[in-house]
Amino acid sequence: MTPPTTPPPSFTPQLSSFQGTQEFSRRSGGRGIGRCLFRNTFVWLTNGNSFWFYPMFALGNSIIGYRWRGNRGWVYDVLNRNRIAFFQCY
C-alpha cells in the first residue's frame, strides 16, 4: 500500500460551514466513508480532533489509509469507524 504522492488540499474545512447542508456526511449516512476511498477526505473525530485522511480500505469498523501529518507527510493509520463524527471527501 503506497501513500498518496501529493499533499491534501491546502485549506482546512470548517465543520460549521457544512452543518445544515448535504455537503458533509455523518459516519453512518449513505454509503458511509466507503464512497471516499482513494480521495482526500477531511475527518472530524468524536473527540474534537480533525485532519486530512486518505482512506484506502474499509474493513468492518476499521478504516485503513494515510493521515496527513504536515512536515512528516502521509503516515499510515487505522481509524475506528465509531470514532468518526463527520467527514467530507474532495
Q: Which of 41, 30, 90, 48 is nearest to 63 (CA)?
A: 41
In a domain, 80, yes or no: yes
- Cell 493509520 belongs to which residue? 77
Average pLDDT over residues 66-76: 98
Tell me if 50 is assigned to some domain. yes
- Residue 13 resides in a domain: no
Average pLDDT for the chain: 87
Q: Is 36 within a domain?
A: yes
| pLDDT, tens digit, 9 for 90 and up, residues 33-69 | 889 999 999 999 999 999 999 999 999 889 999 999 9
Within a domain: 9: no
pLDDT over 90 percentage in the chain: 63
Domain CATH for 82: 2.30.30.100
- β-pairing, 84-89 with 41-45? antiparallel
Q: Is 6 part of a structural domain of the chain?
A: no
Q: For residue 11, is it within any domain? A: no
Q: For the chain, what is the domain count?
A: 1
26 pLDDT band (50/70/90 cuts)? low
Judged against a pLDDT cut of 80, whether residue 27 lies above it is answered with no
pLDDT value, residue 31:
61
Asked if 52 contacts 41 with a C-beta cutoff of 8 angstroms, the reply is yes
67 assigned to some structural domain: yes
